[in-house]
Structures are given as C-alpha cells and as structure tokens.
Structure 1
C-alpha cells in the first residue's frame, strides 16, 4: 500500500475511535533572540484544552524567528507520555529509537542521533551511554513530568550551542512563578502489559506556591512496568541458510524516578534570581533466558534457507540477571535583569553529573556429545522459525563442567561545570546581543568489557562449591506470544546469579579469580573536555521583514588519557588536541500577508566524536602481520556541516495552520566503523613502528548530504455544526534522503535514516471529553554500519496509541492510555526482509487512572 493510502486508511480508522488530544503540538518556541513576543523567563501557560494549547503553539510559531517545533505540557503539568522521547516523537520529522519497546533516543530529520544535541534550561547536556560510545542523550532517563516544554530548534541562532547538525533540543523545566497562590497537581495510574500481564503503574505530584515576589516548587514522579519481551535472532546466514536460531525471552522490570525543586525571587518586574535542582534515574533489572540452536555446527544432515534436518546440533544456554542504571544530577542557579530602556542580562551556573552503569554477569554453557540434538526446522516463515527435536527434549542437559561466567561491566561518569551569560540591548528597530559560555567536563569510564571469564564448572569443585547450571531450570513454561515448536521452561536467574557471584567470591579468596581484570586497563579512559564560546548577534526589523544574524566562536580543548597494552606491557599515553571554530548563522522571516510567513535560514554546525570512540585505551597485537589494534581512534575529526532551511507557513482563519519546510545539510568527515591502517605515529612507542597496523574502530569518511521536506497540517474542525466542531486533526509527513562517501565506498546510507516518517492524530474535545488517536509510522532504515558499508537494517513499523480523558469537574479528570495497539513486532534483517536477524515484541500496554489539580 502506498504511503497516502496507508495514511488514509489509518485516518479513517482513527475517526471511529474518538481519538485523542495532541499534547506534543507542532509549535514553536525559541530562545530570547529568536522570539520577540516572549522572554526566556516568561512561561507559556498551557491550559490543557486542546484548542488552547493549539492557539498558544500557533502564536509562538508565528513569533519565532528560527525554525523550531514545541511539545507543550497539559494543564496537569505533565505529558501523557512516560518519558520525553515519547512526547517528542509526535512532532514533525521526529522518529524514535526504542529499546525493548521503550522510547530512548531521538532522531530528527532522519539523521544519526548524535547529530541532535540537548540542553536543559539552555545548559548543554551530553550523553555518555553504552560506555561513552555515543554522545546521544538518553531521553528515557528524563520523565516528562519534570518538563513544561520541549523545544526543537531546527535552524540555529548564534546564542544556541553549535554542537548540532540537524537540531538542538531544549528541555525546559517548570517555573513556580507561572501561577500565583498554592497549586497542587498530580496523577496516579495503574494498568497492565498485554504480553505476560505484568503490572504498569505511575504517579506524580507537583506543589507550587508563589506571590508577587517569591515562588517555590517541588515535585516528583515514579513510573514502573514489568514486562516480557519475546525475541528471536539469527546469528547470520551463509550459503546454506541460517547458521543458528537464537531463542530469547527477557523478564524485565523497569522504573523511572524523578525529583525536582526550584525557588525564584523577583523583587520587581524585570529582576529575578532562581535555583533549580533535578534528580532523575532510569533503572532496568533484566532477566535473560536464551537458547541457541547452533545449526552450522551439526555433525550431519541437511540445512537450507526454508527447512533442515540435522543431527548432533549443540544447544547453548545463556542466562543472567543484569542491572542497567542511568542517573542524572543537575543543579542550576541563575538570574535575569531587564530595564525599561531595552537592556536585558542573564546568567546561569550549572553543575551536572551523569552516571551510566551496566553489570551483566552472563552464565553460559553448551551441550556436548550424546546430549547434542537431532532436530528438524521449518523456516518457511523466517520471522518465526519452528524447531522440532527428535524424541523427548530435555533442556537440562547443558554441560555443568564447562559452565562459564562472563563478567560484563561498564561504568561511565561525567561531571560538568558550566557558566553562561547573555546580554542584549534594543536600539530602535535593532537588537544587539552578545554572550559567552564556558563548559568544563570530566569523563571517566570504560567501554563495555567482557574479557574476564571464570570457569565455574571446572573451578567450583576446587573450593568445595560445585556449580551445576542444570539445577536452576524451573517447571514454569515460557509465557510467550511467539511460536517455537519446543517447550522451554524459565531458569531461576536470580538464584543462578547469586550463587555464581558467591562462588566468584570464594574463587577470589582462593586466588583462582582476579576481579580486577573484569575491566582491563586497555578498556579504561579518562578525558577532560573544555569549551569556551562567545557570540555576537543582531536582530533587525523593517516592516514585514525580520532578520537575525550572528557568529559564534568556540574554542575546544581535549585532554585524552588512557592505557595501551602491547605484549603484556601497559603503557600510559596522552593525546591532547585543540581547535578554534567559527559558526555563522542567519534567519530571515518575511510576513508576505497577514497569515502567510516565509522563512529562510543558514548556519554552520558541528558534531564531535563520542568519548569512547576517541579513547586512548587500546590493545595491540604485535605478532599479527600486519599488527592489529583494538581500541579508540583519538585522531578523529569532528563532523562539520553547512545547512540551509526554508519554510512556508499559512495560518488558517480561526485555529490551525498548514506548513511546508525543506532543509539540506552538507556534512564533512562523516563517522563510520572500519578497520584500516592507523596512518599516524601515535602508537609508535617502545621502538616499534605501528603506523601500518590495522586499527578496528571509528574513522572519518568524506562528504555527505542529508535533505528532506516536511509537510504539516493542524486544524480544528470549527466549521462543523453542533457537537461535531469538537473534532480536529494534526498530521505531518516527512520525506528524506541522503548518503555519504568513504575513501573506498560511495553513496552509503546514514544510520537511522527512514526515508519516510508520518504522524497523524484525530482528536475530539467537548463536553468534558478529550480523546486522541495517534498514529506513527516510519519506513525501513539502516541500523548498524559495518566497515565497508554493510550493515543490519530495521524494518519500518507503525504504532497506534489512544488516550481518553474525562473531566468530572475542574479538579478531577479520569484517564485511560492505550499504547501500541498494533502490537508491533520490531524486525531487523540482513540484506532483505526474507533474512531477518531479529524479531522482537513487547505487546500492547494499558494504563488507567486519575489526575487532580487544585
């Protein structure tokens, strides 16, 4: 079905569901230099009604001087989404990357997630997820309840950070001065997951009080869900067919907590000082049940793409109770000062700490000899292969003597100190602005380390604690929504981990295991990053024309330290670099008529490599020919872009808008994974020339281009008679394309780029009822990128959510949130969808509760 046909079909279906209010409204808000009608400290009050929220959004979009979109909170002071990524995903040209079905990263305009930067209340934030392998910010660690607005700046002004190729997102927290007097808002909800019937619960509370000069706000939120995740994977495909069937199910408990508070003092209009503090955390306890039918290691039989009959097939089991943690501590103090003659000044001081840790002790064993399997399989439906074992199947036949534990660990900590100030002065039709920023960030951590292996089966008996992996198999069958062909029972992952770690303690005391090797020296790194920025900018208005132009200077310094291990000898090395760059920008807005606005913009931006990618730590093998190096590439260059944007916006009479926006980005030094000659003397210590060694890591490609067009429509059907005028529609479609070149390949697709992204919402609001059905769809995209342009692709998917609200009175509202009603299956594939490498689902989700406000 074509994209228009698909959208028409879905939209028709949505109309019959009485769908929902759009909380993430395609609107615009911008920083002080970009919005004439709204000061940075002036809150946009969203009343919670769909119409009021739309009107506010449209007013902000018309006033903005740069291209930007806004997701605004509702009257209760929260979004109807559990985290910030879910709320942002409803805006034009925005797609999300999910983990176990939960929104985590944001992709704007189809670009890699590293090309979108993030700030909180104007202070830049940098992600250190996955051992620092990405700078992308984790939105699942920030509950949406903490925020009042999320602003996506698609074109830059010089007072915004230049570290953005396609967009920079500003997450804005609540101001206690928004409303006078005492106000209490919150919600409580409970529900369940369709797959496995695990519970889902949430709650939030915000208390604020203010008078004319002083205000205080405190609040918190909690969200938790227990879910099952069905997962099927194929290790690879060779000339005969699938090499293995990897059958997994995860039992997961995830929870987010958020605490925030703020005080403000405004002795008179135009003067304000404030302090804000935020704590947020994402927690994931994950039990893995995994069995791999290792087809390519069979001793006999036949294997094809569609079917097979094999003998002597090893079965490998992998189990764990893993812990994933992400915590953020953010504190800001600041102040604003304004005079009647047009002088404005502001300052902010911020401390931010991010901790990202993973502890994933994997216990693993395989069958052998007579315990290997004779089986047949049917792979005619490759998303759901069916395995039939000849004779009775007993999963408790793994080799106890060969059981191992892989102590997988990762921890990365970032501490950042930032000072920012801005100054502006109106002189007739001209506004001059200037400011500066200094950021000092320390990053210490290690990439995901799996080098240390303990032979539990072989060593356990030596300390009087034999370890039999088969004793942990329970009599509880998997609760799965995927067909399989054999029955598998759960393993007691909590007990198996407790006993394995207890055994490790005894082995350590006996000198048979060294936990210090869990994280090798070559995996560690320590970096200090400093950025000194200054900008000058001018805004001029002449009739229907408004122009904002300026230049930003950034001085960037990196002190990069790590340890390189060669021939068993650890050598500390240091790589220092510095660069001064200039980033001009220009935004022009022209009011062609009262309701028609034209915009054009241009800017230069940058995206710096991830901390793990540039780490000095490495492991060198001098015996290979040529020698090999596994580690970071500290000589990586940043990616730079020149970008152009344009839009046409028509504001419909009454309430609504139609807009078309186009953009183009020219990018140099595009990052990609490869194995190539080092090409430098950095690793030439100990009298050894290693410049021709092959380094496996991240490299700079050559030029790339990314371009696209966005169509957006928002309209309440106020022209319909009677009760029908409560209906409305909001939708957007984005068409994208682009590629980049390397020294050996041309036309490689960008990671994460879907060529088509669509969002559509039908809503109804009247007589106390607010309802919305929201549909999202994205086409296939490249997920991981190999050394020569090969990679794993992700199949596009759709998502349908329904939210219902009924206001009993002005203080109490009942709600129901029904999510993922299409019960999506997230599919990865190799080459074509006929050779899937991963199929995963988490099922639909249902949450019911009440919101209160007084």
Structure 2
C-alpha cells in the first residue's frame, strides 16, 4: 500500500478500538504530575526490573502513555534520547547521516509531537526556524531518569501536541540516599572508514534525608564516512523521438563527518519535611557537527551531444562541477529551572516552577564551487543504470569533432582529472543561518483531594523571543577572480590530495580526497582580505529579507477533575490558551527595503476526557478524546519577503504571516492485559481529524499582511506555506512484553519485547482557482513501524538482539512540495552486558548490522534521488556504579 492511501483495515480497526466500551467511568489516579505518571523511575537493575517499572507506570497512568525507564537506556546501544524512544510502540525516527534526530510518533509529521523537560514545554528552532520540532540528538540519554510519551492529553499538559507530548524527566538525587557514582566509558569504531567512536558519562549524587545534590556530564564523539549518490531531476521525453531524457545529473558525494554531543547537568533538592521540597536544576547540551564534503556533479543535461535515458547514456563533453566545503553545524541548549512542591495532610498539593531556556542553532557552510571548461575541457562518458541506485560511469577523453565547433568521444580515460576545474571561475557561496530562542516560563499546578474526587487547576505563562533567519545562500565571493587583487591567488585545484576515496559504492572511476581543512583555512584568510579591501560584504550572507524577529506569548490555564468509582474512573476538564505572536521583518520591494510588522492572537479551548475501566484484575480498557494544536514554524510565518510590483500579477517570495495553526480533534483507546511476570499485551487505536494542514504552494496572498505604501497586494501570488483541509490520521498499535519465567532454567532467562503499528493518513489542499489535490500523504508517514527485541538475562549476563523496521514514507521538508519519497529500512542491533562484580559491568554494542541504506526516490525506485549509507558501528566499554 502506498503511503497515505486509504487502508480500510487500519481505519476500521482504529475506529472500532476507539469506540469499544464507550461508557464513561471515573479515574482513580488523581496525580497532576506533568507527565501524568510518577515523576521518577530510577532502576539500577536488570532488563526485567526496568520493564516492570515501565509497565507499572503505564498501568497507573490516568491517560494513555508509554514509558521508557532509566535503565532501559543503558541496555540498548542508544546514544541519544531519540534512539531510546524509538524502541517504544508507534515511534519512528528521522535520521541525519544515520544518527537519530527527530521523533515521529504514530508516523505523523515531527511537528505534531511536542516536548517537555521536567514538565516545562520546549521549542526547537532547527534549520533557520523551519521547524519547531525539538532536536533529540542534542540531549544525551544519560541525563534522563525516564521518558514518557503521552499519547492522549489531559488539561494539565500543553495543548501544542496533535499526536503526543513527550516528557523527558531528569534525575532526582533524593531518589537514592547516600553517595552514588554512576558512569560508563566506551570506545569503538565505525565499520565504514574505521572512524572512532567514544563515549563517557559520570554522575555523582549524594543525599541524606533532607538534601540531595547531583552533578553529571556526558560526552559522545564519532568520526564517520557517508557515501552518497544523488540525482537532481529526471527529465521526461517530450516526443517519441526524444533521446535526451532521464537523470539530469549524477551527483557523487562523500562526507567526512566528526560529530560530538556534550552534556552537563547539576541539581540540588531540599526536603526539610515530608511533602515539602524546593529544587534547582541546570542543563547544558551541545550537538556539534564538522563536515567535509567532496562532491562532483556530472551535469548530463549540459552535454554537447549524445543520448541519455533511464537505462543508459552515451554523452560527449559533459561539464563537471566540483563542490567542496568544511562546514560547521551547532545546536546548544541552556536550561535552568527552580521550583518547589508542597503536599499537606489535608490532600492539598502545590507545584510551582520557573524556567529559562535558550536554544541557539547555527550553521556556516562556505561552499567552494568550480567547473570544468566547455568543449575539450570536459570529459565524455557512458553510464549504465542496471542498478538505478548506483550508476556505473565510464570516462573518455573528449576530442574535436569532424566539423568545426563539434566534439566527439575519444579514447578511454584512466580517470577523472580532479585538477581540471577552472581555477579562475571558482566561487564561494557563504551559506549561513542562525536562530536563537530565549524563553521564560512560569508554571503553577494545584490539586485538592476531596474523598474520591480530586480537583486540579493550574496556569502557565511563557514569554519567548525568537531572532533568526532562514538558510541563506545569496552571498557569493568570486575567489578565483579576486584572489590576485589582494595578493592571495586562489587555485581550487591545489587542494587535491593523493589519498583515494574510501567508498563502498560502485562508481566506475576513482577519486581522491580534497584537503578541505586547508581550503577552508585559505578561503577564510582570503575572505578577510576581501572584506578589508571592500570587495566582499559579510553582512550580505544573510539578506534582510531572510531575517525575522518574533515575540511569542502564551497564557494558559486549566481546570480538571478526577473521580474514583472503584473499578472505573474518569478524568476530564478544559484548558484555555491565549496565544499572541508579534512578527517583524523586512520586505524588499524593487530596490527599496521596507519594514513590515504583523500581530496575531488566538484564544482557544482544549477540552479532554480520559476514562479508565478495570474489566478484570489484569485487564484495563481506556478511552480518551481531546483537542490539540500545532503552531507554525517561525521561518514559515516570517514577514520578510521579496516583492515584485511590476509583474502581472505581482509576486511575493517569503513566509506566510497569515498561516493559521493546525487544529485537531482526537480519539484514543486501548485494551491492556497485564500478564504475570510484569508482562503486557496491549492493542490501541487512534484517529485524528486535522484542519489547516500545512503544505507548500504558490497561490494568492489572501490577506493584507504585505500591503504598504497604499499598495494592495492581497491578490499577488505568494510562494510559501499554506493551510490545507480534511486531514485524517489513524492507526492501530500492538504491544507485547513478557519474560518467559514459566520455562525451565536456564530458559527462564529469556524474554521478549515487541510492537507493531499499522498506520494510514492523508489530507487535501485548498480549492484554488477550481483546482484541488486530494489524498496527499503526510510527510514521514510509514504504513508500518515494528520493533522486536529478544533478550536473555541470567548468571550476570544480559544479552539483547533488537530489530527495527519502518516502511516507505513520503518526505517533504517544511511541508508538501518536493514529491520525494523515502524507502523503508531496517536496523539490527546487538547488546551484550556482563556483570563482573556488583560495581562493574562490561559491555559490547553492535549497531546497524543490516548496514541500512537510506534511499529517496521520485515516483518509483527506478528513479532514486538520493542513496546514502554509513555502515555498522561497534562500541566496547565498562559501566560502573558505587
């Protein structure tokens, strides 16, 4: 089944499960903890103990949740919180260079999953604010005590969540009395290129009956090679005699990557008496990525002559463009929280928090480009696409043709001359972005127990400022032409080394590495001289039209009631949120920069209801319904733009400040059988009806936000993000966990954890000029997500084999538009732990043993647009605790 296509089984099963036992009952769990479960799950023992803690918290929760307890993180080869969360039901991940980055719950776009840290909402500003999704690769898993996925909402949780909100809960030192030292040291390698992996963490905690202190840090670093093949576009034949169609280019890339994650955290808690606690916590996390790119584009559609199609090509004088850089990606989070909890004998509970969070996301990619000369300066070639993923290219010399001004294929070339690029034509594109978010949040929750009834109320105020720009590629320095002007000639060909590429992909000819670091050092020096000479303006790296400055204020309050009716319970209430957005930027109208501003506000009610019924001692049924919201990314709503008043009709390129939030009504239900030995067998279904779905298009502005100087631009054509209609997302989740304690020894050490999710979903665009597209799949929606882990734990040995699979999905960054799909892939991981003593455990992890290949394609697999592979990775080390 293609993604987004209607699946009667999935839809019917989801609705049937959601409507099963629709009777209302009342809930016996009256906690208003931010994650709707107990705040801490600290497990220092076995897989089975960790599983038992997670299952117990799921069972007690007043809403539908899935939980990953602390020790589960250490027993998988999971370096960050995204990888650990991907083991839970209906959770898929988006990877970058093979590393887990974003979470997609229930196959939905990542923007539909919100994130909290210790109950405080967190917002992402990745890639120039093009996504509000939180980057999980910036948060090492070892900082956390547990991770809770709330799949149905209560009024106490933020409403900015269409499919789920995830609470990342940090470690509490008061959870264990005395002095404790926990940590690990590991070292390993990447299979492709033999780059090193290393990791280390240390957590020191001390507590008595009154005070607890914790200090900790973590470090992870990896060096890897990434093989990559890309195709820009595929031409279609224009007539039966057309012989120039197929791939427009063959793009050969390899990335040399060095990534590291650092985390620091500290906390102090003071509990002078039972039910009285004040605390302060601080977190710093850093994701850094230094990438060297070596790239050669064989520009097939610019050949002097010849033919090309999907199967093969024979082309004369094909221009080759080289692109090289040493780029830097940085993401840093600074989070500080102070708070207090009070619980009295009369059943009153009060929780207050004050939080500051800063996220700084920045990228600098000085990309150097140069091409071969025309005619005799470019090679001729043939290509064979018997395997469309790996076109095999044979190079030939180009010679003069039989008539003046023509060219012909000559003798076979021994390889591509990487020093044949035009040094005089070399340019540097100063690609750059930086977006910074500062947020202040105040949160108050109050709960009062009145017999079998618990009343709750609370409020939140969040004040954010966001300043940034979308990714800008507009500033170009002519390095080859200007180098001699400042007495530093630049020759792009001087950086070719004698070291051949270490590649696992077939190509047909060899390539050598470029000295990217040396090139970066020299262009930085050259650009500095050009700036001093007035030949290059670095302020142009980020045009005014790409910049934005926004303020975001959220005023929220809620009331909630939970009542206990014995075997049945209900929790319901309403949350109200008043949201105010201030939006400032610059429009370039002709040659004039014009400041523009816009302000919008919304007041919304978000009711929710969760019922829990104990059908038997070990059989629990849940049903819940809620309303949620997903607000637009900051870059998508920027008011900065380029406006053309002379075109007919006029045109606008930029953000869409009139973009409305996405809203949803959702229905969830589950049937949970809690098995002997801390196991669980559960099936759940859900359906989301979503309005205002984001997609990309070119259509009339439809508002006055770009009006200035008395000019009405509401009918101009805007290329940006718009709101669609009729979104539907639905699915069924099946989850089974069990340790086989009923088997004879030693087989009773075996256990299994697995889940399977079947999904469907689609949306429609607006009706524009009588045209409408229907049934468009959601970006990131895989029909199938599966996890399976078989483990053995006995005699000090803890071994686990884990398998993950996700099906094909539609992929379009920022919304609908590119028409690109992603091929499904699987991962096989193996983890081994052996407890040498009570204080030391040695471990060995092997990840991605399937050597997963990440493939994007256009329409079908015979038109791949990207093929990428990083290989397996291995880590060995020791964990310790005292």
**Normalising by the residue count of structure 2, what TM-score does the alignment of the two structures yield?**
0.92
Q: Which residue in 1 is equivalent to 2:203?
A: 206
Matched, 1:453 2:494: no
Distance change >3 Å, CA 338–CA 320, structure 1 → 2? same
Matched, 1:442 2:439: no
Q: Which residue in 2 is equivalent to 1:752?
A: 780
Secondary structure (helix, strand or coil) at the match of 2:187 reads strand
User: What CA distance in whole angstroms lies between the structure 2 residues aligned with 1:39 and 1:57?
Assistant: 11
Matched, 1:808 2:813: no
Segment of structure 1 superposing worse, 207-216 or 31-40: 31-40
Q: 1:762 aligns with which of 769, 790, 794?
A: 790
The CA deviation at 1:75 is: 8.5
Matched, 1:33 2:27: no
Q: Which residue in 1 is equivalent to 2:598?
A: 575
Q: 2:134 aligns with which of 130, 137, 142?
A: 137
User: What CA distance in whole angstroms lies between the structure 1 residues aligned with 2:361 and 2:266?
Assistant: 23
Distance change >3 Å, CA 38–CA 635, structure 1 → 2? closer
Matched, 1:270 2:275: yes
The CA deviation at 1:464 is: 1.8
8 Å Cα contact 1:208-1:218 kept in structure 2 = yes
Q: Which residue in 1 is equivalent to 2:21?
A: none
Q: 2:233 aligns with which of 219, 232, 236?
A: 236
Q: Which residue in 2 is equivalent to 1:14?
A: none
The CA deviation at 1:62 is: 1.4
Segment of structure 1 superposing worse, 433-442 or 676-685: 676-685
User: What CA distance in whole angstroms lies between the structure 1 residues aligned with 2:818 and 2:254?
Assistant: 28
Matched, 1:286 2:291: yes
Q: Which residue in 1 is equivalent to 2:350?
A: 345
Distance change >3 Å, CA 806–CA 451, structure 1 → 2? same
User: What CA distance in whole angstroms lies between the structure 2 residues aligned with 1:246 and 1:446?
Assistant: 28
8 Å Cα contact 1:76-1:851 kept in structure 2 = no
8 Å Cα contact 1:232-1:248 kept in structure 2 = yes
Distance change >3 Å, CA 82–CA 547, structure 1 → 2? same
8 Å Cα contact 1:73-1:79 kept in structure 2 = no
User: What CA distance in whole angstroms lies between the structure 2 residues aligned with 1:79 and 1:572?
Assistant: 52
The CA deviation at 1:253 is: 0.2
Secondary structure (helix, strand or coil) at the match of 1:400 reads coil
Matched, 1:255 2:254: no
Matched, 1:164 2:192: no
Distance change >3 Å, CA 789–CA 331, structure 1 → 2? closer
Report how many residues are paired. 826
Q: How does 1:687-766 map to 2 (within 5 A)?
A: 687-743=710-766, 744-766=772-794
Q: Which residue in 1 is equivalent to 2:53?
A: 56
Distance change >3 Å, CA 507–CA 825, structure 1 → 2? same
User: What CA distance in whole angstroms lies between the structure 1 residues aligned with 2:512 and 2:613?
Assistant: 66
Q: How does 1:784-799 map to 2 (within 5 A)?
A: 784=812, 791-799=819-827
Q: 1:402 aligns with which of 400, 410, 425?
A: 425
User: What CA distance in whole angstroms lies between the structure 1 residues aligned with 2:710 and 2:509?
Assistant: 59
Q: Which residue in 2 is equivalent to 1:624?
A: 647
8 Å Cα contact 2:829-2:846 kept in structure 1 = yes
Distance change >3 Å, CA 365–CA 455, structure 1 → 2? same
Q: Which residue in 1 is equivalent to 2:769?
A: none
The CA deviation at 1:31 is: 9.4
8 Å Cα contact 2:574-2:608 kept in structure 1 = yes
Q: Which residue in 2 is equivalent to 1:317?
A: 322
User: What CA distance in whole angstroms lies between the structure 2 residues aligned with 1:276 and 1:461?
Assistant: 55
Secondary structure (helix, strand or coil) at the match of 1:74 reads helix
Per-residue CA distance 1:510-548 (angstroms, 9 max, x = gap): 111111111100000000000000000000011211100
User: What CA distance in whole angstroms lies between the structure 1 residues aligned with 2:676 and 2:759?
Assistant: 30
Q: Which residue in 2 is equivalent to 1:295?
A: 300
Matched, 1:772 2:778: no
Secondary structure (helix, strand or coil) at the match of 1:512 reads coil
Q: Which residue in 2 is equivalent to 1:333?
A: 338
**Normalising by the residue count of structure 1, what TM-score does the alignment of the two structures yield?**
0.95
Secondary structure (helix, strand or coil) at the match of 2:301 reads helix
User: What CA distance in whole angstroms lies between the structure 1 residues aligned with 2:111 and 2:38?
Assistant: 29
The CA deviation at 1:61 is: 1.5
Matched, 1:482 2:479: no
Q: How does 1:325-724 map to 2 (within 5 A)?
A: 325-369=330-374, 370-390=376-396, 391-392=413-414, 393-724=416-747
8 Å Cα contact 2:362-2:433 kept in structure 1 = yes
Per-residue CA distance 1:455-511 (angstroms, 9 max, x = gap): 111111222221110011101000011111111100111111111121111111111
8 Å Cα contact 1:815-1:850 kept in structure 2 = yes
Secondary structure (helix, strand or coil) at the match of 1:171 reads strand
Distance change >3 Å, CA 35–CA 184, structure 1 → 2? same
Secondary structure (helix, strand or coil) at the match of 1:402 reads coil
8 Å Cα contact 1:717-1:727 kept in structure 2 = yes
The CA deviation at 1:655 is: 2.8
The CA deviation at 1:788 is: 7.5
Secondary structure (helix, strand or coil) at the match of 2:639 reads coil
The CA deviation at 1:73 is: 1.4
Segment of structure 1 superposing worse, 684-693 or 86-95: 684-693
User: What CA distance in whole angstroms lies between the structure 1 residues aligned with 2:217 and 2:857?
Assistant: 41
User: What CA distance in whole angstroms lies between the structure 2 residues aligned with 1:626 and 1:452?
Assistant: 28
Per-residue CA distance 1:80-124 (angstroms, 9 max, x = gap): 411000000000000000000000000000100000000000000
Per-residue CA distance 1:807-831 (angstroms, 9 max, x = gap): 0011000000100000011000000
User: What CA distance in whole angstroms lies between the structure 1 residues aligned with 2:42 and 2:178?
Assistant: 15
User: What CA distance in whole angstroms lies between the structure 2 residues aligned with 1:39 and 1:192?
Assistant: 38
